[in-house]
Amino acid sequence: MLVLLALAIGAIVLLAAVKAGAMWFTVVPLGILFIGSSVIRSLGWFSKER
């Protein structure tokens, strides 16, 4: 989960560097967190069996 958070923060920094619109500062990091967590969960990385 920390990797996803680091990717989201990196996306915010990148968006700030290119002076993107305010909407993108919300959509892109939340998309990374939600889509990334659902993909990781479907791969079984959050299961306690490991």
Using CA atoms, how far apart are residues 45 and 40, in angstroms rounded to an integer?
A: 6
At residue 38, the pLDDT reads 92
Token pair for residue 32?
A: 């990374």
pLDDT at 20: 92
Structure tokens, 26 = 């919300």
- Could you tell me the residue ranges of all domains in the chain? 2-43
pLDDT of res. 39: 92
How is the chain classified by DSSP, letter by letter?
Answer: -HHHHHHHHHHHHHHHHTT--HHHHHHHHHHHHHHHHHHHHHHTTT-TT-
| pLDDT digits 0-9 by tens, 4-35 | 999 999 999 999 999 999 999 999 999 999 99
pLDDT of amino acid 50: 55
